[in-house]
Chain A
Amino acid sequence: MEGLAKLGIDPFSILLYLLNTGLLLVVLIYVLYKPILRYLDERRDQIKRSVEEAQLLKVELDKKSIEAEEASKKAEETLKREMENLRKFTEDKRAELTAEMEVARNEMLEKADADITRRKEALLKEAEQATLTLIKKIVLHIVQNKVPEEVVEASIKDSWKHFNTADRRH
């Protein structure tokens, strides 16, 4: 003790310091350290919960994402199928309409062809009639005006002979 005293150290003071320090520690433990620890625990728990929620959310998100992807795939397939059906329907309709148009076109062509044939025949008939009339006029004009009298007289005699021959046959 004396040696401490010679060194200028007071054991009481040291005790007092120790008491102070002990008190300070108690105060710090109860006032500061424990709330901090409690806060830290709470914070850790909160973070842990958050992480777990995040994990759950991620799983949920993944699940939703998969579902959405599947739904998207399904929708895409449906759309594809619908598109295919639509394409097929359009193709069928187009073929049907093309066939109808072809039939209508053929009918129109046949009618036009028949009409043309009829008109052509009528024109030919008219032309034939006109030609025959003209030939008749020309022939009659020639034979009425250009045949000598003796030829006419001979024709009467020949016809009379022909008549007699024909008559005898009957």
Chain B
Amino acid sequence: MFKDFLSALTLEILLSLKKGDEFKGPPVFKDYLEKVSEEDLLGDLRLIFQVINGTDLNVLNLKNSGFFKTTLHFFAENFASKLDALGGNFYLLPYEERKQKAEQLINGDSHTAAALRDILATNSYQEITEAIENLSKSIIDAGTIVVQTPRDVSPELKKEMREKFAAEFPLTFPSFRVNRQLIGGFRAFVNGKSHDFSWFSQVQKLTSLKS
């Protein structure tokens, strides 16, 4: 999923380096380019090309790569807020409507923006979150955070939740799932530990009480 995005981003980087134009990609990568050394940049570019050529992320050593950490930072924070703004119904829409909404959400004529819009228009929420989780595991050995709610929650609350989890587990990517069986409240699985505040579990507890 990230191949097109990485290709577009690499192209943006190389064009900006070659022509000296202003970098058109996401601001976090601009910061990265300003700080990275030539040697590290070459190392990162080597890794990028390996990923683009189909090498599995888990095989590569991405833990020391500033580029991939920046990529993860981008997806776990900037892109995640875009995802949260879309809501659950977005992924049920036809391709054209999804593309249109993605263009409204991510504007700009850069290759990177186009690649991100393509990611949103052609992948399901589950595919996107799994890909980001996989990236997170490859780079920082991050755990899995899944938040289940009975209804799709507002982008504001999702943002609040992300910020809370990010404070405790930096660069992790919490995924939000709708589980109508919960009825009310929510349930979170944080690195294998369950935090169940759902009404369903409360009903279960109530009915399991004995005199």
Chain A residues with a Cβ under 8 A of chain B:
128, 132-133, 135-136, 139-140, 143-144, 147, 149, 151-153, 155-160, 162-164, 166-167
- Flag the segment in B19-27, B28-36, B110-118, B196-204 that touches A: B196-204
Residues of the A chain whose Cβ atoms lie less than 8 Å from the Cβ of B188: 163
B88 within 8 A of A: no
Residue in A139, A156, A162, A167 whose CB lies within 8 Å of B206 = A139
Between-chain CB contacts (< 8 Å), 19 pairs: A140-B203, A143-B184, A151-B184, A152-B150, A152-B151, A152-B184, A153-B154, A155-B150, A155-B185, A156-B150, A156-B151, A156-B185, A158-B185, A159-B184, A159-B185, A159-B197, A159-B198, A163-B186, A163-B197
B151 touches A132 (CB 8 A): no
Residues of the B chain whose Cβ atoms lie less than 8 Å from the Cβ of A164: 164
A147 touches B183 (CB 8 A): yes
The residue of chain A having its C-beta at the shortest distance from the C-beta of B181 within the complex is A144
Grouping DSSP codes into helix (H, G, I), strand (E, B) and loop, the A interface class, with mixed when no group exceeds half, is: helix
Residues of the B chain whose Cβ atoms lie less than 8 Å from the Cβ of A155: 150, 184-185, 199
A-B contact count (CB 8 A): 64
B11 within 8 A of A: no
B129 within 8 A of A: no
Given contacts A128-B210, A151-B184, A162-B197, contact A156 B149 (CB under 8 A): yes
A147 touches B184 (CB 8 A): yes
Cα distance A135–B188 when bound, in Å? 26
Residues of the A chain whose Cβ atoms lie less than 8 Å from the Cβ of B149: 156
A160 touches B161 (CB 8 A): yes
Cα distance A111–B89 when bound, in Å? 65
Residues of the B chain whose Cβ atoms lie less than 8 Å from the Cβ of A152: 150-151, 183-184
B155, chain A: closest CB distance, angstroms: 13
B63 within 8 A of A: no
Residues of the A chain whose Cβ atoms lie less than 8 Å from the Cβ of B211: 128
Cα distance A153–B183 when bound, in Å? 10
Residues of the B chain whose Cβ atoms lie less than 8 Å from the Cβ of A166: 195
